[in-house]
Chain A
Amino acid sequence: MPSLRHIRKRIQAVKNTEQITRAMKMVAAAKFRRAQEAVLQARPYAREMRSTLARLAARHEEVAAHPLLAERPQVEHEDLIVLTSDRGLCGSFNSNVIRRVEHYLLDNAERRDGIRVSTIGLKGFRYFRKHIEGIHNIEGLLARPSYRRAVEMAEEMAERFTSGQIDRVTLVYNEFRSAVQQVVTFRQLLPLESPSTEGETRPDFIDYLYEPGKPELLDRIVRRYLANQLYMIVLESVASEHGARMSAMENATNNAGEMIQQLTMVYNKARQATITKELMEIVGGAEALKG
């Protein structure tokens, strides 16, 4: 049995860890609330944008014919963009994504040379740079997701796509379900999928267009839609990250508490044993003197 002093030290160490994880949990909770709020604030626009485009597409076939919606017969060059976090200690948030990407690359080994992997998030970048040469990390999106940055990135993507450099853009990210549930999702961003009018509550299809003329208007809307999709995915991933960290730290704090309880039990038993032993010795000594 370890000595009393050892157990005491151990308990103290676990207590220190518990304090840290508890603090991290609170920070993550605060950040999570902010990230969740950002997602909620962004949803009305995304919903309206989608609805507008869907109702336009139902009346104007030019939408479906837009170059950004054109499905390529053969996918040779693909951009795979992996969203992870910049920091760790968020449970399996990053490893889940990384594992799924590894599987994807293995499953598509025959066209592996055509797949260009990029990351958003240092965790994914540090992992993949070990065995993927020339990988680059897209910065300036995670810490403070801004729509402006998403627009820039979407324009870059659209340019690569329409010029024929790539045939598809896929994003891998943790879809935000709730604070405790994140689901790794592969999402094809380009070619864009035409939003369907299914579940559309507003039946007023848009058959009347105004300035500055149909092609320009449709083109602008499609491009904004792309940027908005990208922006929403980043927001969701960030919210998932803080949610995952919050529950990971909550678990760690609970485990530390349990461990302290168990160690305290061992400690008390050991202390009791020492007292009993000392008593026995005294009694034994007294008996011997009598004799």
Chain B
Amino acid sequence: MLEIKNLHVEVGGNEILKGIDLEVGAGEVHAIMGPNGSGKSTLSYVLSGREGYEVTQGSIAYKGQDVLEMSVDERAAAGIFLAFQYPIEIPGVTTMTFLKTALNAQRKARGEEELDAVKFLKLVREKAKPLNVTDEMLKRPLNVGFSGGEKKRAEILQMAILEPWFAILDETDSGLDIDALKTVSEGVNALRSPERSMLVITHYQRLLDYIVPDKVHVLSKGRIVKTGGKELALELEKSGYAEYGADEAA
């Protein structure tokens, strides 16, 4: 599904990622853990194509395509989705409008028929219910005045509607209480399938109790320093990131 080879990335002239190799197969869920400043968010941005993240070496292949040649919206239409750590406010654009705009833009880019209002409404209602996203929330401008939990649920709702093939969850657990964490995790788990892969970026093992990964990678100072199974996350929870060169695991 995704193959990253010797990826080096600079931001503002500073090298943040210093040679990442990572392969995620279809249907697999990989967790990336690591201390602050290890390059976790950089990895999510470079995969999704944000400006200002310069790839100096290496390659990213997604379903055999060269991702680095694709624009942000092309990547999205091809099925790469990023659930933001800090979702952005879009004043005046209701969640419903935003969802419909995004879905139909992707469908159009893929040469599929756009959904009409009736079909779309049905789809949203069906996907919103298990995530406790109310009609009232769908009518509010996206992320404007949303609580931390509402923002994250809205992110997962977008993912459920856009049905990406490769989803990156960037610290989706941050700012969530335990109930919200459960709801969000259930939403994510419902999307797990043999054709869909996920990259779960997190600081804490807690999230991985709910979204159980196939593999765990430890990222430190721009490199993957250790890879293991889900038990690696538990080890980290006990010993912290100190042995991987970080001062603080906070």
Pair from one complex: no
Q: Which A positions have Cβ atoms within 8 angstroms of B? A: none
